[in-house]
Amino acid sequence: MKMNQINSVCVYSASSTKIDAVYFQAADTLGYLLAEHRIRLINGAGSIGLMRSVADAVLKNGGEVTGVIPRFMVEQNWHHTGLTELIEVESMHERKRKMADLSDGIIALPGGCGTLEELLEIITWKQLGLYLNPIVILNINGFFDPLLEMLEKAIDENFMRRQHGDIWKVAQTPEEAVQLLYETPVWDISIRKFAAICDTLSSRSADTLSLFRQDQISPAKADTDSLQLTDLRAVQEVDSGFEGTPISYSPRTDDAIALTLLACFFLSSIALARGKRFLSQQVKDFVLHRERTSIFDSSTAADVRYLLVLVLQTCVLSGITFLNYFHDTSPTLMNQVSPLLLLGIYVGFCLAYFLLKWLIYMFLGWTFFDKNKTNIWLESYSALIYYVGFALFPFVLFLVYFDLSLTNLVIIGSIILIFTKILMFYKWIKLFFHQFSGLFLLILYFCALEIVPCLLLYQGMIQMNNILLIKF
């Protein structure tokens, strides 16, 4: 059986607190399972009831939660303040639309009018082909039995077609609900044709049946009506099949990403093979500091080319890392903007970041320090950049092809970044620190040139993502 790719699930649930403990237990279990399966929770950002219980369970177990809530509820302080992401909208309808757009499936927990209204509306959307993903009713303690009986009665009395009973699935436990998300086939957009044909067919069938009951049909007219009915049924049989939808974008299935990583491997291999002496000398000079002329003064044009290739590799690998990060945190962005365009933008940001810092180092070094020490520092800075690329390569491979979680991505990425900054600080002290009284100024100088630019780089990418979302 083909399994669905489920990255995020919208959970409808109650905000009431005076309910049986069995419902809270089910909510906690569901939250744990979502976190375990690395499924992002999408909900209404409520701060009480089952809505909060599910969110807290997801967050407690290392998962992520995106809450969508109207602005007037935020003004009343009804929102959960500890979510991974909070999206404010203008109206209740926009809230439901946004939650559906962000989700790869729906799970309905027991609830009141709001929960029932959300459930019935998403069922209607799926009936009309406006929502195609699985809808699972988690029938804890038989709560939904009356509603399910009502829906069955509507089918029995021809208010709904029998095929519409496949719109939703019913689970008795949270474990079964999560399993149904993966196993329930995703509908195809052609269901919209099916919905239109059903309406036509229902009216024709009713008219034909009425005429037969009155014994007022001539043989010729009966043949004509029967032929039309047969044609409609034939069309119905064709259009009622569901082909599924393409798997959502993932970097590990992107051929361009694979080719880019392969190119990085070959280029770095060539650089290491042909520029081994130059590169190893830079490592020794970085660790064993001594007064000397910069290695740039004695390097060949080929050595400089190898250095530039490795610096570019670091920028490309950093861009792929950011692409994976925003793929997990902003799935809507990936659906609206070309991943290759995003990768190019992220690589450009990283390249501009390193180049700008190079120019700042050069200006400040030649202004406040001697030229020789500045050249040695720029050399050390370059060495760190391309050796970070060597560290990033296996990290990116694991990130792309072994589906590292967002938490592991942030942890490992932070370790690499912090270790790099420590090495830079070490080189700063070796080159420019001469007396203890200047340590405080050195720390301020280091923070201004190392910590703040990293934060500006991240915020710049966030703003660029927002611009792209608006434009596309």
CA distance 269 to 273: 6
Domain assignment present for 419:
yes
How high is the pLDDT of residue 470?
Answer: 74
- Which residues fall within 8 angstroms of residue 58, CB to CB, at 6 or more apart? 31, 32, 34, 35, 41, 64, 65
CA distance 195 to 129: 8
CB atoms within 10 A of CB 434: 9
Same domain, 160 and 231: no
- Is 262:390 a contact under the CB 8 Å cutoff? no
- Is 354:311 a contact under the CB 8 Å cutoff? yes
Domain assignment present for 412:
yes
- Is 177:136 a contact under the CB 8 Å cutoff? yes
Domain assignment present for 244:
no
Same domain, 217 and 306: no
- Which residues fall within 8 angstroms of residue 249, CB to CB, at 6 or more apart? 327, 334, 335, 339
The alpha helices in 15-112, defined as continuous H runs, are 21-36, 49-60, 71-75, 92-102
Domain assignment present for 246:
no
Same domain, 145 and 39: yes
CA distance 53 to 48: 8
Same domain, 17 and 73: yes
Measured CA distances, 337 to 208, 330, 332, 340 (Å): 51, 11, 9, 9
Domain assignment present for 367:
yes
CA distance 282 to 276: 10
CA distance 133 to 278: 56
Same domain, 268 and 305: yes
Same domain, 35 and 116: yes
In 99-255, which ranges are E strands? 106-108, 135-138, 169-171
Q: Report the DSSP pairing between strands 169-171 and 135-138.
A: parallel
CA distance 180 to 121: 20
CA distance 165 to 151: 8
Same domain, 213 and 266: no
Query: Domain total for the chain?
Result: 3
Domain assignment present for 1:
no
Same domain, 153 and 39: yes
Domain assignment present for 3:
no
Same domain, 178 and 51: yes
Q: Which domain holds residue 415?
A: 251-471
Domain assignment present for 128:
yes
- Which residues fall within 8 angstroms of residue 380, CB to CB, at 6 or more apart? 282, 285, 286, 424, 427
Burial class (CB in 10 A: 0-12, 13-18, 19+), 13: buried
Same domain, 112 and 234: no
- Is 468:337 a contact under the CB 8 Å cutoff? yes
- Is 396:409 a contact under the CB 8 Å cutoff? no
Same domain, 133 and 217: no
CA distance 116 to 147: 9
Same domain, 396 and 457: yes
- Is 137:144 a contact under the CB 8 Å cutoff? yes
Task: Check which CATH number belongs to the domain holding 107 and give it.
Answer: 3.40.50.450
CA distance 336 to 469: 7
- Is 10:107 a contact under the CB 8 Å cutoff? yes
* DSSP 3-state of 96: helix
* DSSP 3-state of 138: strand
How high is the pLDDT of residue 239?
Answer: 43
Question: Could you read off the pLDDT tens digit of each residue along the chain, which spans 472 residues?
Answer: 568 899 999 999 998 888 999 999 999 999 999 999 999 999 999 999 999 999 999 999 999 999 999 999 998 889 999 999 999 999 999 999 999 999 999 999 999 999 999 999 999 999 888 899 999 999 999 999 999 999 999 999 999 888 888 899 999 999 999 999 999 988 876 666 555 444 444 444 444 333 333 444 444 444 444 444 444 444 444 444 444 445 567 888 888 999 999 998 888 888 777 767 766 776 776 666 554 445 445 556 666 777 788 888 999 999 999 998 888 887 778 777 888 999 999 999 999 998 888 888 888 777 777 777 777 777 778 778 878 888 888 889 888 888 777 788 788 888 888 888 788 777 777 766 655 445 665 666 667 777 788 888 888 998 998 888 777 6
Phi, psi of 12 (to 5 degrees): -85, 135
Distance in angstroms between the alpha carbons of the first and the last residue of the chain:
36
